[in-house]
Amino acid sequence: MTEDQILLGIALTVALAAFSQILAGKLRVPALLLLLPAGFVAGALTDVIHPNNLLGPEFSALVSLSVAVILYDAGLGLDLRQLTGRTRGIVGRLLVAGILLTFLAVAAVAPALFGMSLASAAMVGVILVVSGPTVVGPLLEYVRPTDKLRRILVWEGTLIDPIGGILGALVFHAVSSSQSAVGHGYQLGQFAISMGIGLVGGAVGVALLWLTLRVLRLGETLGTIAQLAVVIIVSAGCDIVRDDTGLIAATVTGLAIANLPGLDMPARRPFFETLVQLIIGLLFVSISSTVTPASLKPVLLPSLLLIAFLVLVVRPLVAFVSTGKAGLTLGERGFLGWMAPRGIVAASTASAFAADLSDQGLAGASKILPVTFLVIVGTVLLYALTAAPVARRLGVVRPSRSRPLLVGGDRWVVDMGRALRSAGLDVLMWAGDEDERERIRDAGLELARGELLATATNPRARLEGVTTVFLCTDDDDFNALASVMVEGNVEGPVYRVGPPHEGHGVVAPYTGGDVLFGARLVRHVLAERYRQGARYLVQPASRPVPADCETLFVVRADGRLVPVTEASAGAAAAAEDDLLVLLGPVPLAQPRPGPG
């Protein structure tokens, strides 16, 4: 290729990856639904984005390192405190049963469906055992299942990727050397060796990051550079020793860094998070561009049958076997049986091994990549279209009723929490001062654990069960900084009470985020009005609002909470069956709130 063609290919690949993800975000669909067709169409129309033309044989090594970075980032989002008791057992059984049953089932039916050899069928089977957080996560954000199901599926998807990658490498080497791909103790020994190398690499990665983040105390920019460098160095080193062990090392490093105490992770990692998203887009576009229309035609119908077999038989069987006597409801077990999309590791493994096996003349090896491509597209499309209605039918969707978290323990904040609770909401509160925490307990409100806000500043943490955060402490700079730190770690928006107009806070006037109650009811005004006797009133929206009262919140009939802000005044317009939370003088007899 000429230099101009290489530049055009790189530019086109980046453009397709970026715009597909942007469009997917606007449409609220998994980016994979647009990335794979975009790469496939571009690859069919032009060969300038074909990775083998742009990078040659080095593309496989680049894919391996890129997937390692993705899995490291996924490991950072795994909190071991959430993997306890029955959840840990369910995840473990899903991994074991999912790998064994999927591998054996696909290897058994693939020769008849695709006319390939048993060795090629074994390769397809081991490729399709993986799922992955890059597709499971976006689907779960859209479906909104219960937190228990979300934890189980995210853990399963993250842990099965590196295991599947190693198994893929083992089967590939066994097939290449004409040894049996399954059933020999030799292969189990090889798997144990690979796991050991990956764990050693993970330990080295943790030690290096402890040195850079704990001892040297690097900041956000240098800390991000250190993380990226360590993951690449450790993953490349492990892969040099043994193929695909770098995936284990990367996942172990991320998991350890996220859970070991005393490591000063950069509070925000916008560059690293952006890099991971770009890598995902580039990989999907590049790999899908290698799939030609001619290669899809002979395997299209058999692949549809394989997808139906995986979705309707194999995954439900895996879920049934794994969740017996696990304390899950029938609906929860059913949803686990309806969520197994394939993702980036399946695509990268197929891309890495299929061409070599085809060059060796293995019967059916040329069909491995197109079959994998169709299974990825088919499973993601099917689950994206059906997961939400299935979850609703099974009764495993989180209720639409809001669960706000109020941060602050002043009397006016605690009384606000009581008013929201009287409107039918499940209110959670947090405060740092022990006297304020005692005040919350005395009010009968649920008090969050002490480390909640510290956990929430982790860029990959998640405030489970919380739909909205209201920052109402008496420290305006804390409210401003916390609004930036917590944003993205909660399902819904984050609001803060407004600082005094004449204040000279260090950061409060300069940060973004929606300010509660508009410009007039800033923090000190609210506190002063409460001290002078103003109180919160809850009344049906069908009643006229008294002239001396101001509307603070609208509680919808379905339990959704809408605060009044300058930016959302229109959104807070109330219907007759809504409830209003007002601030005003206490009437002689408060009207009883309607059903909440």
CA angle 334, 125, 330 (to 5 degrees): 5
Helix orientation angle between 118-127 and 368-394, rounded to the nearest 10 degrees: 40
Give pLDDT, residue 185. Answer: 60
C-alpha to C-alpha distance for 319 and 315, rounded to whole angstroms: 6
Query: Mean pLDDT over residues 422-449, rounded?
Result: 88
Range of lowest pLDDT (184-188, 303-307, 441-445): 184-188
Of the candidates 521, 485, 531, the residue with the CA atom closest to the CA atom of residue 500: 521
pLDDT bucket at 589, cuts 50 / 70 / 90: very low
> Per-residue pLDDT tens for 68-79?
888 888 777 777
Give pLDDT, residue 389. Answer: 92
Range of lowest pLDDT (34-48, 184-198, 313-327): 184-198
Query: Mean pLDDT over residues 426-430, rounded?
Result: 89
Of the candidates 321, 389, 344, the residue with the CA atom closest to the CA atom of residue 32: 344
Token look-up 């250190």 returns 226
Buried b (16+ CB within 10 A) or exposed e, 226-263: bbbebbbbbbbbbbeebbbbbbbbbbbbbbbbbeeeee
CB 77 within 8 A of CB 258: yes
C-alpha to C-alpha distance for 498 and 514, rounded to whole angstroms: 9
> Per-residue pLDDT tens for 277-318?
888 889 889 988 888 888 899 999 999 999 999 999 999 999
pLDDT bucket at 360, cuts 50 / 70 / 90: confident
Helices (H) and strands (E) in the chain, counts: 23, 10
Give pLDDT, residue 270. Answer: 60
Residue 433 CB partners (closer than 8 Å, separation 6+): 409
Give pLDDT, residue 180. Answer: 44
pLDDT bucket at 411, cuts 50 / 70 / 90: very high
C-alpha to C-alpha distance for 235 and 353, rounded to whole angstroms: 19
Give pLDDT, residue 453. Answer: 59
> Per-residue pLDDT tens for 464-480?
678 888 999 888 888 88
Of the candidates 362, 364, 383, 377, the residue with the CA atom closest to the CA atom of residue 287: 377
Concatenating the DSSP letter of every residue in 16-71 gives HHHHHHHHHHHHTS-THHHHHHHHHHHHHH-STT-HHHHTGGGHHHHHHHHHHHHH
CB 396 within 8 A of CB 331: yes
Residue 253: both structure tokens together: 């490093």
Range of lowest pLDDT (257-271, 274-288, 409-423, 431-445): 257-271
590 DSSP 8-state letter: P
| Residue bearing the bigger pLDDT, 289 or 181 | 289
Give pLDDT, residue 179. Answer: 44
Whether the full predicted model's pTM is greater than 0.75, yes or no, is: no
> Per-residue pLDDT tens for 495-516?
888 887 655 555 555 565 578 8
CB 515 within 8 A of CB 495: yes
Query: Mean pLDDT over residues 340-365, rounded?
Result: 82
Give pLDDT, residue 596. Answer: 41
Residue 67: both structure tokens together: 């997937």
% of the chain exceeding 70 in pLDDT: 87
Instruction: Say yes or no to pLDDT of 566 above 50.
Output: yes
Give pLDDT, residue 182. Answer: 46
Concatenating the DSSP letter of every residue in 69-107 gives HHHHHHHHT--GGGS-HHHHHHHHHHHHHHHHHHHHHHH
| Residue bearing the bigger pLDDT, 270 or 562 | 562
C-alpha to C-alpha distance for 74 and 72, rounded to whole angstroms: 5
CB 352 within 8 A of CB 136: no
Range of lowest pLDDT (297-301, 313-317, 343-347, 389-393): 343-347
User: From residue 76, how far is each of 26, 71, 415, 445 by CA, in Å?
Assistant: 26, 9, 37, 32
% of the chain exceeding 90 in pLDDT: 27
Instruction: Say yes or no to pLDDT of 539 above 80.
Output: yes
| Residue bearing the bigger pLDDT, 155 or 102 | 102
Residue 370 CA, chain-centre distance (Å), reads 27
What's the mean pLDDT when you consider all of the chain?
A: 83
> Per-residue pLDDT tens for 122-131?
999 999 998 8
Q: In angstroms, how far is the first alpha carbon of the chain from the final one?
A: 67
Beta bridge partners of residue 397, listed in sequence order: 145
Residue 258 CA, chain-centre distance (Å), reads 15
Give pLDDT, residue 198. Answer: 87
Residue 159: both structure tokens together: 């842990």
- Which residue type occupies 106? V
Query: Mean pLDDT over residues 392-413, rounded?
Result: 88
C-alpha to C-alpha distance for 75 and 480, rounded to whole angstroms: 29
Give pLDDT, residue 501. Answer: 67
Give pLDDT, residue 267. Answer: 52
Highest mean pLDDT among 97-101, 148-152, 542-546: 97-101
| Residue bearing the bigger pLDDT, 217 or 406 | 406
- HSE-CB at 174 with a 13 A cutoff on CA atoms is 25
CB 402 within 8 A of CB 431: no
Query: Mean pLDDT over residues 107-126, rounded?
Result: 92
CB 128 within 8 A of CB 372: yes
Range of lowest pLDDT (180-184, 332-336, 403-407, 488-492): 180-184
Instruction: Say yes or no to pLDDT of 455 above 60.
Output: no
Element (H, E) at 199: helix 185-209
Secondary structure class of 429 (helix, strand, coil): strand
> Per-residue pLDDT tens for 23-36?
988 887 778 788 88
Burial (Cβ within 10 Å: 0-12, 13-18, ≥19) of residue 485 = middle
Element (H, E) at 124: helix 118-127
